Amino acid sequence: MSDHGMMEKEEIFSKVLRAGRRTYFFDVRATKAGDYYLTITESKKFTNDDGSFHYKKHKIYLYKEDFSEFNEILKEMIDYVIDVKGDEVISERHQKDFKKEEYDAADEDLDSETVKSAESFTDINFEDI
């Protein structure tokens, strides 16, 4: 039993992707009716000033009726990024000689509504169901 007094859902099939401070968990689970669904969890490690650490988790529940459209949109978005920017990683974290000002021009391609929307995004932490 978990802290919430609910039985933990058994994972049917799981995969883990470790990516720096982030870890992604892909878990197939079963509904009460015995059908399967997917959870995707991002877990990110944060270090406190005293050297201790904690994790923040974000979870997506993906049900079978959404698989096809989710997969199509995910593929379309990935293809777009690769087509426009290539598959080379460009970031401070991955390149020691990265200079942000060289890439600020790319922000000009975004309309003001997209920028405002991204700036006003709120990180919401949902409790596990």
Q: What is the DSSP string of 48-62?
A: -TTS-EEEEEEEEEE
11-109 sits in which CATH class? Answer: alpha beta
What is the helix (H) or strand (E) element at residue 19, kind and residue range?
strand 11-19
Residue type, 115: V
Residue with tokens 């920017």: 85
pTM: predicted TM-score of the whole model, two decimal places: 0.60
Q: CA–CA separation, 71 vs 128, rounded Å? A: 23
For 35, which DSSP code? -
Q: What is the pLDDT along the chain (129 residues), one digit of tens a residue?
A: 444 444 456 779 999 999 988 999 999 999 999 999 999 999 998 888 898 888 899 999 999 999 999 999 999 999 999 999 999 887 766 556 656 665 454 555 555 555 454 455 455 555 544
* Cα atoms found within 13 Å of the Cα of residue 46, Cβ hemisphere only: 8
